[in-house]
Structure 1
Amino acid sequence: MKVKEVLHRIMKISSDTSVAEAARIMSEKLTGSVLVEEDGDVIGIMTERDMMRKVVAKAKNANQLKVKDIMSTPLITIDANEDILEASRIMDRHRIRRLIVVEDGKIIGKVTANSISRNLKYLLARDTSMYSKTEYYGHRE
């Protein structure tokens, strides 16, 4: 299964947005990450984990911090035509839960560890079911 088959849209937010405002927007849009833009270029990603580790855990004021102050860089990307198993390997290697998906050098979305896990479970269940049916019918003939 290809990454482009399981990707999600990803929002962009200005690097000068306060962390508090970004958190409000993320909560409203039910997303765990946003790309950070500056002068039209994507310069990083801010995730729930960034907010927890760099703001909440350090008791910092989210209204005074800007997204660019806590974002993660560089972006870790994967080509849209790569297999989801490769996406999983990259996430494990970098200890991240999201990968930015690119196609022809342009960002087209993100893939998450959760979406990969769900789809791997589906593929495994489907393949196991097909194997079981083949074996069953094979013994009956």
Structure 2
Amino acid sequence: MKTLQQVLAHKTHQGIISIAPNRPVYDALIILAEYQIGALAVIKDGELVGIFSERDYAREVILKGRSSKTTTVSEVMTSKVITGKPDDLVESAMSTMLEKRIRHLPVVEQNKMLGMLSIGDILKETIHYQQTLIAQLESYIHS
């Protein structure tokens, strides 16, 4: 099974899509829509300080009657971020994401964010791994 670093290396978009904590939630929503993603890394002075997701928006802005133009990302972001390491295996990341009920996992090494993986990225890699394993087993059985 691949490591998180290997999965990141095969993602199609370049760079880390992020926002500063002092920006309005409205700006974060524009970025989410533009890139068609569900979460943004919140970066301050080059360091990951939180994650802003569609879930944060729904729970902390809409349901509480706040304005997305006057509320800052830092007011509603998830600040206790669960992260993965580049050498973690996909299987381990999936277990963490399911156990913690999270959909996005920043990959961090020495306080530097390398990228973000979604549950979709992890699931896609797991399915590919299982299909390859099945094909190898079928080949072994038929030989």
Cα shift at 1:31 = 2.2
C-alpha displacement of 1:93: 2.1
Q: Identity, % of aligned pairs?
A: 26
Give the Cα separation in 1 of the matches to 2:72 and 2:110. 31
The TM-score, its normalising length taken from structure 2, stands at 0.87
Contact residue 10 and residue 33 of structure 1 kept, 8 A: no
Per the TM alignment, residue 67 of structure 1 is displaced from its structure 2 partner at its CA by 0.3
Query: Is the contact made by 2:104 and 2:117 (CA closer than 8 Å) also made in structure 1?
Result: yes
Deviation at 1:33, TM superposition (A): 1.4
Q: Select the residue among 11, 16, 19 that pairs with 2:22.
A: 16
Residue 29 (str. 1) matches residue 30 (str. 2): no
Instruction: Between 57-66 and 71-80, report the one with greater CA deviation.
Output: 57-66
Runs of 5+ unmatched residues, structure 1: none
Count, aligned residues: 137
Partner of 2:140 in structure 1? 134
In the other structure, the counterpart of 1:117 is 123
- State the match for 1:57 in structure 2: 63
Cα shift at 1:29: 2.0
Distance 1:104 1:133 in 2: 42
Partner amino acid, structure 2, of 1:4: Q
1:106 matched to 2:107: no
1:38-49 alignment, distance < 5 Å: 38-49=44-55
Q: Which residue of 2 aligns with 1:77?
A: 83
Query: Does the CA-based 8 Å contact 2:48-2:111 persist in structure 1?
Result: no
C-alpha displacement at 1:66, in angstroms?
A: 0.5
Which residue does 1:91 correspond to in 2?
97
Question: What's the CA shift for 1:38?
Answer: 3.1
CA distance in 1, matches of 2:41, 2:62: 20
* 1:81-111, Cα deviation, whole Å (9 max, x unpaired): 1100110111122110111102344210111
Inter-CA distance 15–93: structure 2 relative to 1 (3 Å threshold): same
Matched, 1:2 2:8: no
CA distance in 1, matches of 2:42, 2:131: 37
